[in-house]
Amino acid sequence: MKDKIISLLAAFETGNIGLSFPMEYCLPVYHCVSDENLPHIRHIIQYKNTKQFEEDLDGLSKHFQWVSWSEFKDFVNGNFKPRKKIALLTFDDGFREFYDTVIPILERKGIYACNFINPAFIDNQELMFRCKASLIIDEIGKAQKMNPEVYRILSLESPTREQLKQYILNINYHQKDLLDNLTQKFEIDCTTYLKEYRPYLTTDQLKTLTQKGYGISSHSWDHPKYHELSLPEQMKTTERTFHYLKENNLMYDSFAFPFTDFGVKKDFFDELFKNEDLFCCFGSAGVKFDSVERLFHRIPMEMGESGEQTLKKEIAYFRLKKIINKNKIVRR
């Protein structure tokens, strides 16, 4: 029902999106852009192809002024006066396509972007647990007959294939050993996959991107869901990543939550901002304010719709929440 109401209200957003956009900054976030079938991503992210991505950029360019990281910081500090509302382009997870596919497009269009990475995966040392889930689901789709051991590992009795896929998608960070057991049963060799496909950026590519003027910053060590961690666990994965970034001369003054900032309490932010190098952090709640002053929310752009339609829905949802005074997240 909520989605239907938002879609209906979004249909009335026919004017200049830049003017009706309720915030002075727009923060779109993507993970990957590719014209290929990527088994390790396709079941967890509705990534866009190059044509769709360029259409998003061109649409946003009509309404917003693209800025670099230094311009964004100056804007927040009141030292940068843009011609119109600003947009800062961000990517998450450090997938190889950022280097191979995205950067050539951005260079041609003169647009800056920052990629928030997980050091555990750089140089293709490891595959993120959700990517393993995607590979497993890919194999389920191809299998003519299911190995009964799969059901035993998951303690399931005769689920449909769709139920099985959904169960695997719901396996969380603390249960990721289950995914390792399943990859063995489906004869998926993640080490070979990493070596042959090389899904993540390399250290040399990070250096090249930095030299070109693009940003590489923090997305936790290995992509846990933060509200599922204790405060010490939250700080450990965060601080380990900052250490890596500093050691490799990358951007260590920002942090973007993996998955979502939903459910993360005030005590984490109190600890996080004890780091005097940190300028701000990024959530992913869309067009939303936050009681944490230096937490800025990004707009997920891989929702199966055009960038323009995504923004129209965000504007409509913001207006709807504003009526009931619910467009600000309050941390306790």
* Cβ atoms of 251 and 114 closer than 8 Å: yes
Query: 148-185: per-residue pLDDT in tens?
Result: 999 999 999 989 999 999 999 999 999 999 999 999 99
Residue 114 forms beta bridges with which residues? 90, 215
* Cβ atoms of 316 and 9 closer than 8 Å: yes
Q: Where would I find the beta strands (DSSP E) of the chain?
A: 25-26, 28-30, 65-66, 86-87, 89-92, 113-117, 215-218, 254-256, 280-283, 289-290, 295-297, 299-300, 328-329
What confidence score (pLDDT) does residue 325 get? 87
What confidence score (pLDDT) does residue 2 get? 67
Average pLDDT for residues 284-295, to the nearest whole number?
97
Joined together, the tokens standing for residue 190 give 């993640």
* Cβ atoms of 211 and 248 closer than 8 Å: no
What confidence score (pLDDT) does residue 1 get? 64
Average pLDDT for residues 12-18, to the nearest whole number?
78
Reported confidence tier of residue 5, pLDDT bands at 50, 70, 90: low
Q: Could you tell me the pTM of the whole model?
A: 0.96
What confidence score (pLDDT) does residue 7 get? 73
User: Helix 190-197 crosses helix 129-142 at what angle (to 10 degrees)?
Assistant: 100
From 32, 53, 254, 28, select the one nearest 130 (Cα to Cα).
32
What confidence score (pLDDT) does residue 8 get? 65
b/e map 273-285, b = 16+ CB within 10 Å: beeeebbbbbbbb
Say whether pLDDT at 9 is over 70.
Answer: no
* Cβ atoms of 291 and 39 closer than 8 Å: no
User: Helix 129-142 crosses helix 161-169 at what angle (to 10 degrees)?
Assistant: 170
Query: 46-82: per-residue pLDDT in tens?
Result: 999 999 999 999 999 999 999 999 999 999 999 999 9
